[in-house]
Amino acid sequence: MADAKPQFLRVGGAVDAGAPGDGSERRIAFVADAGTPGKTPGVMWLSGLKSEMTSTKASVIAAWAAEHGVPCTRFDYSGHGQSPGKFEDGTIGAWLAEALAVFREVTRGPQILIGSSMGGYIALLLLRALMRDSPRDAERITALLLIAPAWDMTERLMWARFSEAIRREITEKGVYLRPSTYGDGDYAISRRLI
């Protein structure tokens, strides 16, 4: 449930130096409920940008899964929620590597990937990476449930829509503080993320 104590998975460094991202080691917080033995498929929640595994949507999914005995895995990307790190150091490649590690090392059996916003983008990238590099793992994904997927968010939804002044700020200063409509402070959109 939302108040479950997280476990931590080490991602990066020598373990996945060839993966997207900078190769630095990160500790990723996750909660995995095994559900009722033999009950499949499980669900794996992928949060949106600046969201976390204890958000309203993630908690509702976890509660539903618990009620029905469905295995459920949730995690926080580095710099999000209970995973250490600075949000502005994050990249789509690093967050994808983290999602891949959670999928491979934490989930078991068939899975439905549920992604919201950026989580939908990461779910699509995860499936594509598995289809390319590990078809047997890709076969474990039985369905995708994408909630307002922010496909290609850094290029199409951010960079292409930013004003010239914002692009210059990102290029010259390395970061743009984008106001949030959720009341959780500005989002540091870094040159590295873009």
Number of domains making up the chain:
2
Contact 171, 141 (CB under 8 A): no
Task: Indicate yes or no: pTM above 0.85.
Answer: yes
Residue whose structure tokens are 């940008």:
49
* pLDDT confidence tier of residue 23, bands split at 50, 70 and 90: low
117 & 146 share domain? yes
Indicate whether 156 and 187 sit together in one domain. Answer: yes
Same-domain check for residues 143 and 176: no
15 vs 58 pLDDT, higher one = 58
Same domain, 111 and 183: no
pLDDT of residue 183: 66
Q: Give the range of the structural domain holding residue 175, as residue numbers without chain letter.
A: 152-194
Asked whether the predicted pLDDT for residue 22 surpasses 80, the reply is no
CATH at 108: 3.40.50.1820
Residues 98 and 11 in one domain: yes
For residue 16, pLDDT beyond 70: no
Give the mean pLDDT of 153-171. 91
* Chain Cα centroid distance, residue 36: 25
Asked if residue 31 belongs to a domain, the reply is yes
- 96 and 159 inside one domain: no
The first and second tokens of residue 5, run together, are 């104590």
Is residue 53 domain-shared with residue 134, that is, in the same domain? yes
Whether 119 shows a pLDDT value over 80: the answer reads: yes
pLDDT at 15: 40
**91 and 12 in contact (C-beta within 8 Å)?**
no
pLDDT above 80 (res 131): yes
Give the lowest-confidence range in 37-41, 74-78, 123-127: 37-41
DSSP letters, the chain, are -TTPPPEEEEESGGGGTTSSS----EEEEEEEE--STT---EEEEE--TT--TTSHHHHHHHHHHHHHT--EEEE--TTSTTS-S-GGG--HHHHHHHHHHHHHHT--SSEEEEEETHHHHHHHHHHHHHHHH-HHHHTTEEEEEEES--TTIIIIIIGGGS-HHHHHHHHHHSEEEEPPSSSS--EEEETTT-
Domain match, 138 and 162 both: no
pLDDT at 125 over 60: yes
Supply the mean pLDDT for the chain: 90
Examine residue 1 and state whether it is found in any structural domain, yes or no.
no
Whether residues 111 and 171 fall in one domain: no
Answer whether residue 2 is part of any domain. Answer: no
Tell me the pLDDT tens digit for each residue of 53-97.
Answer: 999 999 999 999 999 999 999 999 999 999 999 988 999 999 999
